[in-house]
Amino acid sequence: MGVFKKLVSALSPEELSRLPPEKLPENIPLDLVEDAPLYSRRALEDLILAANAFHLEARLAIQDHYGDEVMTALDKSKVVGNTANVKIFHNKLQDLETVHDQWREKENQALLERLGNGIRTLNALLLDVRAENSDTSLAAKLLRAQSAELEHEGMFQQAISRLYRHSERIEGLLARFFRVRLDIVQHEMHGKLQQINSLDQQSEVLRQQIEHLRGELEETQTLWRRTIKKTQTNHQAEHLQARISALVTEQRAREVSISETQLTLWLDALVDTALHPRTRQTMPAQQSEARMALYALLNRYCQQQENSAMQIARNPFLQVDPAQAIRFMLLSEQFILDYFSKKRNETTAWISDVAQVRSDDLDGLERMILSELKRSSRFRRREL
């Protein structure tokens, strides 16, 4: 189009009229006529009409010969590049990388919060970018499978090359994001573990106090005390229950919150990095360290759910919603199984031809995580 615009400015009307319509670009905007020299406008209008007629006829012939799907794939190859989804993702990723570099130098809490917000924003865009990558890859695969006529061979090859370059660019952006995200998530998980460790000793003291008071409460419920000193016993029981409730509340306040949403985000960061071809072989140490932190947090999450249920079972007078306590039955192993089941359902939207990720890769990663998680769980039980 740029070359054609220069020709419009340089050639005479007679020279313009001799340009072959088949060599001109598609979809020439009519606005070009208004910018042309006054003496060339009539010739330019006729040339544009001839070019549009040629390209429309050629398009209909290709569509009739190869089918609608191939035509759609060829059309897609003409609009790849800085599409809206990819452009937004690219710009926000650049901002994230800038903040990440600053945080690596200063480790400022405000910068860390900005990084967390940036990661959440890009996570929200991830599905659309991956879907575009998958569509681009499928379009290239469809065109490669065609037995193109000799006259169309060059057009098909150019379309495939454009689609492939677009998919490669997206894969590069994803790899950059996965590297930064894993680094931040790893830091976040270690921060959680440090919080947990620092409060564990205080929580254990409270647990022992609760157990001691519960023993006293059980003693007040003996048949002898309930019959001989009924009034005194009831007052004492109420006092003990109030003290136990206060200690349980304090114990919960000292627990570091771990939610399923957090676990899923951490697992996403680990799985995406382990599956992507540009990060799975280049970040083994970071992935291993992140996995171990995640296993510890998964175990702790389930331990918290179980402890909550046990408190209600042993102290039924506590004012807690029983439905919430039952959630301890969601064991870490089941959490992983459910996660990978959902991940498989998403693969059609994000596994691309360029990425060369197979369902076997997802299966292998699931088996490895479950195996190491069970080993980690047994080790923690022996410690306890």
Structure tokens at 307: 């402890």
Name the residue among 185, 133, 182, 141 with its Cα closest to residue 159. Answer: 141
Predicted confidence at residue 325, as pLDDT, reads 45
Identify the segments of the chain with pLDDT beneath 50.
223-224, 318, 325-330, 378-384
Core vs surface per residue 111-132: b (16+ CB within 10 A) or e = bbebbeebbebbeebbebbbbb
Dist CA 100 CA 205 (whole Å): 40
Name the residue among 246, 240, 253, 243 with its Cα closest to residue 202. Answer: 253
Per-residue pLDDT of 178-236, as tens digits, reads 999 999 999 999 988 888 877 666 666 666 666 777 776 666 666 445 555 565 666 77
CB atoms within 10 A of CB 354: 20
Predicted confidence at residue 87, as pLDDT, reads 94
Name the residue among 42, 43, 49 with its Cα closest to residue 28. Answer: 49
Q: Are 190 and 184 in contact (CB under 8 A)?
A: no
Predicted confidence at residue 119, as pLDDT, reads 95
Dist CA 76 CA 84 (whole Å): 14
